[in-house]
Amino acid sequence: MKMNRRDFLKLTGTGTILGLAGLGLFERVTEEAIAAQFSKDAKALNAKRWAMIVDLRKFKTEEDYRRIINACHSVHNVPDFGNPKDEIKWLWTDTYEHSFPGQEHEFMPEWLEKKPIPLLCNHCANPPCVRVCPVKATFKSPDGITQQDYHRCIGCRFCMAACPYGARSFNWRDPRPFIKKTNNEFPTRTKGVVEKCNFCTERLAKGLKPACVEESNGALIFGDLMDPDSEVRQVLRKDFTIRRKAELGTQPSVFYIIGGSENV
Amino acid sequence: MKRYVYIGIVAFIVIVTYPFWSAGKAKKPEPKLDTPEIQKLVEKKCVEPKEFMKREHMKLLNQWRDAALRDGTRVYVNSEGKEFTVSLQNTCMKCHSNKKKFCDECHNYAGVKPYCWDCHIAPKEEEGQI
């Protein structure tokens, strides 16, 4: 087929126009369902950066730990596989030496060596888990909570490797048969996703404080770190607090009051 | 020689379209709406009009997911100005408590396998109910 320059230009021009029109049509078909309106509940608790203070002085008995862990794990359908290899942790405990490595020394009081420290996701302002997630399943929400979208998680476990606090757990097995009593208001997770504490974002949206805080009898203090009048800021002004591995630059939002002889 | 080419083309078309015309007419499922919660409603309306929900519910659910999880906006204001809590488990399924009749039948018919129920808890239904 012979074609002169003029015909060739005409043909490519028409082709381009048709292509663009098709693209416009495609976008029309695939656009959002409706320009919907979303808003927040009037009762919702709002903050710029949610934070927590763990007052170790107020944890006296085993029951004090059990109560907050149960509260968290039962509202969020956290399974109990009964073996540490598969363990799913949202809120758990460990020794002082493991929680604050480098802070321990051979002359520290015996009670502190033995005392379990309540641990949870630190909801870092500079979270390494968010940086490494290849699918943006883990993200930082505007209220400072490090959240995870289980719809997106591909189970690569980069975040688990990145988190210096061990705050993330992987579902090696289907968790459903291992949930003692299912809370039908909250989803479970599925095999192959990583999960963690969500600072009870679903409760904050309804105007409720986190489940562990509610059950802690004042041992856990929760509030907005960016509000100078909030309860957490008032306590931070008054008491000496430490954070886990703050030297790594993750800027954790969970603070610990270790206290002294009143712990004995 | 040309004859064989035409026969070949016809044979090709027959083979490729075989699944479409051989399947016969499967009965189109009718999603059931007679759950106790829906019967209780004075005005039997979903969050958006029925036709819209039929066609676009999957897009709406994705929008709901992103609004609740990513933006933290958990109240949906529909086209009539009515407000709903953004939740598959606590809003959608409270009314549509007949997942097997309401969700599964159509999804099976259309051959789609949404993974909603891997995590979201389906409402309890009596055994034997399809």
Domain containing B109 equals 27-114
| Closest CA relative to residue A131, chosen from A7, A6, A249, A11 | A249
A170-186 tens-digit pLDDT: 999 999 999 999 999 99
Contacts of A187 in chain B (CB under 8 A): 89, 119-121
**Hey, are the CB atoms on B72 and A201 less than 8 Å from each other?**
yes
Residue A150 in domain: yes
What integer is the mean pLDDT of B15-23? 85
| Boundaries of domain holding A99 | 50-263
The confidence score (pLDDT) of residue A48 equals 95
* CATH of residue A214: 3.30.70.20
- What's the residue count for chain A? 264
pLDDT in tens, B52-102: 998 899 999 999 999 999 999 999 998 888 899 999 999 999 999 999 889
Total domain count, chain B: 1
| Domain assignment of residue A2, yes or no | no
Q: Is residue B18 part of a domain?
A: no
Is B88:B64 a contact under the CB 8 Å cutoff?
yes
Low-confidence ranges of chain A (pLDDT < 70): 1, 29-35
In this structure, are residues A190 and A175 in contact, taking their beta carbons and an 8 Å threshold?
A: yes
Quick one: tokens of A94?
A: 């460990």
Residue pairs between chains A and B whose CB atoms are closer than 8 Å = 71
- pTM, 2 dp: 0.83
Side chain identity, residue A220: L
Is residue B81 a part of any domain in this protein? Answer: yes
Interface list for B 101-120 with A (CB within 8 A):
115, 118-120
CB contact under 8 A, B72 and A149: no
Residue of chain B nearest A47, judged by CA positions: B72
The answer to whether residue B45 sits within a structural domain is: yes
**Inside any domain, residue A82:** yes
Q: Would the ipTM clear 0.85, i.e. be above it?
A: no
